[in-house]
Amino acid sequence: MTREEFIGLATGEQESLRRFLLSLCGDPAEADDIAQDALMNAYVASASFRGAARFSTWLFRIAYNCFIDRLRSRKIQTSPLDAPAAQTVPGPDATDGRFRHEDLHRAIGRLPDKERAALLLFYMEDKSVKEIAVILEIPAGSVRAYLTRGRRHVKEYLEKWKTR
């Protein structure tokens, strides 16, 4: 794969990759840094990309591994809204009736990383269960279990949000 071909493919995935990483770690600078690392690693390993998986799935898998490596080595703050104030649910009257980006952290910020990643990939990035299993390197059954638990969690948040 030439550099131009790689850039062409990466450009198509750039926005969703950065959005996914930003939703995971919460810090735009950190998320972009991880995305750069992931794209560099992908470029270095592009000769080994055989096309068995979609380019997007392969890239997200590398990005998720970069995120996990960063998490282990630098202990990045994955849920910046862990402060007590962040645990409150503002409710529709506090806003114009629309959800804000902060609500996402309130709803899923305290979930385990894999569970959060599965939810984001499924609902935000429209990935299938099979693709999520490849990205997170877990069996499809575990992805379904994570989604069920995560869905219950978000549902509870939404119910609280509505009743306030």
Partner 1 sequence: MENEIKEFFRQTAPKPADPTSFTLELNARLAAVEQIKAYRDREIRRTRRVFLIVFVAGLLVGGALAAFLILHPLTLPEPGLSPEDLAPAPWRWAAAGAVVLGTVLAAILLTRRRTPLLPRI
What is the rounded distance in angstroms from the CA atom of residue 13 to the CA atom of residue 1?
A: 16
Question: By CB under 8 A, is residue 93 in contact with partner 1?
Answer: no
- Comparing CB distances to partner 1, the nearer of 114 and 150 is 150
Question: By CB under 8 A, is residue 121 in contact with partner 1?
Answer: no
Question: By CB under 8 A, is residue 135 in contact with partner 1?
Answer: no
Spatial neighbors of 13 by CB under 8 A, at least 6 apart, are 55, 56, 59, 60
Residue given tokens 């869905």 in the structure block: 151
- Give the number of residues in contact with partner 1, rule: CB under 8 A: 35
Q: Which residues bind partner 1 (CB under 8 A)?
A: 3, 6-7, 10-11, 14-15, 18-19, 22-23, 28, 31-32, 35-36, 39-40, 43-44, 98-101, 103-104, 107, 119-120, 123-124, 151, 154-155, 158
